Structure 1
Amino acid sequence: MTLNDLTVNFSSIDRKKLLSDWEWLIGSDKLPVLISAIGDVFIQSLNDNVVYHLSVATGSLREVAKSTEEFRALLQSRHFVENEFAPKIVNGMRESGVLLEKEQVYSFKILPCLGGYFSLDNLQATNVEVHFSIAGQIYNQLEDLPTGATIDSIKLNLEGRRPWWRFW
């Protein structure tokens, strides 16, 4: 399995808008540089070129490289690729017949923060824009809740967005 098998081409998507629902966490000075098939994204700061990993599974951001060159070197590391791109999960989804189409990622049906499991049964192919928008809005609403809090409802802002059920 190659890195191309583990990533998603998003060249036709507006990079500035793609992560707008995550600005509460990442700020407005970062752009996506690489999206994994498992729905995480590597973003780079426009100010200092530091590369970060945004995990949609955990709703967290962490620094992975101080520069583009350091990030490229990490992409050559088998250990890094296995940990960050989950080839076993991607392969499992493919073997179960769930293949990604253009601009899709494997996304949680139910996010782990809402009680979803880290299992192949809880993953589906989803449009990349829908994936990041919904997850970003959910994590933003949950940010200040204490652990174990009861969640009665979640509100999604779909104003000005392409309807989630339309992928054209």
Structure 2
Amino acid sequence: MGANLFADIFLADANGAVHMLEVSAASITKIAASKEEFRHRCIDDEDGWLLRPLVDQCRSAGMNPTPSQCYAFTTLPLFGGEYKTDNIWMCSWSEWLSYTASIYAQTKHLPDGTLVSISVVD
């Protein structure tokens, strides 16, 4: 169905219910009973699914992604990263989705609170 500028993906199931896949938090949640309800609730975005205030802050800070880029987190919310501009950078959609998918695959069986160490290798 679509995505927000942080690459969180909105998906409709076979019954028409809409789910939000928060890639940086490694979670999926049913957020609306129908596409129509979802679209209506996105107008004001009271639920914050589109992260509009944070997008506005990023743009004010000079971060203006191209169509091939999304906002990404230096420290993922999954690991306690904050939804603040100093924890955000711009990344290509494909790299960000690949990275967050890899993190999910490596952490999905860990209990909450597990200490995680990440090594970045070129």
Cα distance 1:139–1:73, how it changes in 2: closer, same or farther (>3 A)? same
RMSD across aligned positions (CA): 2.3
Aligned-partner SS, 1:64? strand
Structure 1 residue 152: Cα displacement: 4.3
Is 1:38–1:105's contact at 8 Å kept on the other side of the alignment?
yes
Which one of the candidate residues 27, 43, 48 is aligned to 2:11? 43
Distance in 2, Cα, partners of 1:84 & 1:36: 8
Where does structure 2 lack aligned partners over 5 or more consecutive residues? none
Aligned-partner SS, 1:76? helix
Structure 1 residue 53: Cα displacement: 0.8
Aligned-partner SS, 2:37? helix
Is 1:138–1:154's contact at 8 Å kept on the other side of the alignment?
no
Structure 1 residue 115: Cα displacement: 4.7
TM-score normalised by structure 1 residue count: 0.63
Aligned-partner SS, 2:49? helix
Structure 1 residue 39: Cα displacement: 2.6
Equivalent pairs: percent with the same residue?
Answer: 26
Structure 1 residue 108: Cα displacement: 0.7
TM-score normalised by structure 2 residue count: 0.83
Letter in 2 for 1:110: T
